[in-house]
Chains A and B, each alone.
Chain A
Amino acid sequence: MTDMAIRQPAVQAVPLTLRLAVRDIGGITRRNLLRIIRTPQLLFMSIVQPTIILLLFRYVLGGAIRVPGLDYVNYVVPGIFLEAVLIGGMTTALALAQDLQAGIVDRFRSLPMARPAFLAGRTLADVCRSVVALAFIIGLGLGVGFRFHDNAWACLAGVALIIAFGYAFSWVYAAIGLAVKDPQTAQMAAILPMFILFFASSALVPVSTMPGWLQPFAQNQPATVTINAVRALFEGGPAFHDLWQAALWCAGIFAVFLAISMNLYRKATA
């Protein structure tokens, strides 16, 4: 009888406090950072890709592109910064699909951890990798002639906006990874929004040079708005209008795709 009493489980769960939830997020983030450190080739590739795009547009194509009122290098490099974080985030989709297929999602869902922590820890670790890639691309940008013209605070705000956009967008990738479930498909599917948002934006050429039917989309989509805000912050122009629009986009993308991803995670089956 006494033995039975000892084996009798504690019937209430420890209440899930904010402190425990933060600790869960920390644990998962650490796991994913260890994974990133232990696959340096992936980190390397997430730096190589934007490097190639940057060199391509700076040296191969850039000579033929004229933008009014700005050196092309100062026009295009902020766009490549955004591309660097968008590329970095794509691994979120791939990694989540892998975890789902390997049954790791099942294991974590069967634990008493805070439910959002699994995805939050994933996106936080991935944004850390994006920051490393971004730091490299900023250095490279400076090396090929890009210059920050506004004061340090404005430039830092611009970099922070790029990171915020990258983080918000990593939840889009999270939703893609959980929805398609298969790592290969996830990788292909994650390229699509990146391609559309990056190429049909003001990142590489002014929207005014695009055909009329494309302009309304290209002018108002989140990547353009964010790049315009970042450029204005780096160059010292009027940034306020673009800045609050970009902030709203980030908040909106984050909120909507957080909800979608959490819903997919709750019902996840491999």
Chain B
Amino acid sequence: MNAAVEVEGVTKRFGGTLALNDVSFSVQQGDVLALLGPNGAGKTTLIRVLTTLLKADSGRARVAGLDVQKDARAIRSVIGLAGQYATVDELLTGRENLELIGLLYHLDKAVYRDRAQDALERMSLTGAGDNQVKTYSGGMRRRLDLAASLIGRPPVLFLDEPTTGLDPRTRNDLWQFIEELVAEGTTVLLTTQYMEEAEHLAQAIVVLDAGRIAAQGTADELKDQLGGNVLEVQVTKRADLEKAASLIAGLASAPPRLDAGLNRVTLPVKGGARVLIAAGRALDDAGVELEDLGIRRPSLDDVFLSITGHPAAPGGDAGQPPHSPEAGR
């Protein structure tokens, strides 16, 4: 197996901030790797380094066997980039956008015309292909943006938060499309704030936090790092939350996490049913009224929290400010 993307000790500093701190990983050909992390973790900066938009201060990176600094232009002809914001021209039609990108990939006119038509069909945009993009919905723009990144038939595709801000149905369509591309052999490196997305699409996950790699592996490996299960207690009355937390704190070595919004306490635990029963007994004896009590396998959110000490996505919001700080600098 060849690595389609290799990153070795890449470091990038913006003023006093270390945006990327000694980042190393590789993506095997035909795999999907998800860069997971909150806003400002350095995901976009890393994508910008790998797509030759930004020079790293130190370290080495290769894409499709080419050095990002020495062979920048060669890399540009073998990659596709779709951003967080649909970077298509509002005043051009969908088809004009795609054909322009094809021309700039230095394809022959007959070739890029065919491919633009194919891409429109594939993205179910045929009907809207000759309308100006300003008439498109958000989902249509995002599909067009992805189509534009595929005009050069790139073996390596970079997707920067491809589904941020999309409604669930459009997101599922996009996931399915990405899976199709991967089935055809495309290597994909995507960034996301959503555990679910990383788990769904990626074989390998790299967790970025404040510019450095906090953990990497498959979804299962990351969950095993946490070990065991998660005990979840939901109390009826907000006032009981702290009490419940202190009652069950003794069942694990890690401190419990309180979610005041949901009246919920979660706790990573080693055992299974025995812990559940012990927790139930302790809470019942103390007269804490319970809405729900259960034990489950850890989600990637739990893993992220235990690795980095803070949740991945603030409140799971779908809407994003138009410019995250890391996209700006």
* A interface list, Cβ under 8 A from B: 3-4, 6-14, 16, 20, 23-24, 27-28, 30-31, 34-35, 38-39, 102-104, 106-113, 117, 269-270
Contacts and interface: CB of A to CB of B under 8 A. Distances in A.
Given A7-B185, A103-B85, A13 B54 contact: no
B103 A35 contact: no
B185 A103 contact: no
B81 A9 contact: no
A11 B185 CA distance: 17
Contacts of A14: 77, 106
Interface string B105-122: 110000000000000000
Contact of A31 (B29, B87, B89): B89
A106 B44 CA distance: 12
Contacts of A8: 2, 155
A23 B103 CA distance: 8
Interface of B: 2, 29-30, 48, 51-54, 64-66, 71, 73-74, 76-79, 81, 83-85, 87-89, 91-92, 96, 100-101, 103-106, 132, 148, 152, 155-156, 185, 323, 327-329
Given A7-B29, A35-B89, A112-B105, A106 B53 contact: yes
Contacts of A38: 91, 132
Given A11-B74, A110-B52, A24 B103 contact: yes
18 contacts: A7-B29, A9-B155, A11-B66, A11-B74, A13-B73, A14-B77, A16-B73, A27-B103, A27-B104, A34-B96, A35-B89, A104-B87, A104-B88, A110-B76, A112-B73, A112-B76, A113-B104, A269-B53
A103 B87 contact: yes
Contacts of B78: 9-10
B155 A269 contact: no
B327 A270 contact: yes
A23 B152 CA distance: 17
A270 B328 contact: yes
Nearest to B322: A101
Q: Which 4 A-B pairs have the closest CB atoms?
A: A13-B74, A112-B77, A103-B87, A113-B104
B92 A35 contact: yes
B170 to A, nearest CB: 19
Contacts of B79: 110
A40 B77 CA distance: 35
A16 B77 CA distance: 11
Nearest to A36: B91
Contacts of B74: 11-13, 112
Contacts of B92: 31, 34-35
Contact of A111 (B83, B96, B105): B105
Contact of B51 (A10, A27, A103, A110): A110
B77 to A, nearest CB: 4
Nearest to B102: A27
Contacts of B48: 106, 269
Contacts of A11: 64-66, 74
Contact of A107 (B65, B87, B106, B155): B87
B237 to A, nearest CB: 48
Given A7-B30, A34-B91, A103-B87, A269 B104 contact: no
A152 B291 CA distance: 92
A139 B71 CA distance: 52
Contacts of A7: 29-30, 155, 185
Contacts of A3: 185
B328 A111 contact: no
Given A24-B103, A112-B106, 19 more contacts: A3-B185, A4-B29, A7-B30, A8-B155, A9-B65, A9-B156, A11-B65, A13-B77, A27-B103, A28-B104, A31-B92, A103-B87, A104-B89, A106-B81, A108-B104, A109-B52, A110-B51, A112-B74, A270-B323
Contacts of A102: 85, 87
A20 B103 CA distance: 9
A107 B79 CA distance: 11
Nearest to B79: A110
Contacts of A23: 103, 106
A13 B76 contact: yes
B111 to A, nearest CB: 13
Nearest to A113: B104
A112 B104 contact: yes
A111 B329 contact: no
B65 A106 contact: no
A22 to B, nearest CB: 12
Contacts of B88: 104
A107 B148 CA distance: 10
A112 B92 CA distance: 21
A31 B101 CA distance: 11
A239 to B, nearest CB: 41
Nearest to A30: B100
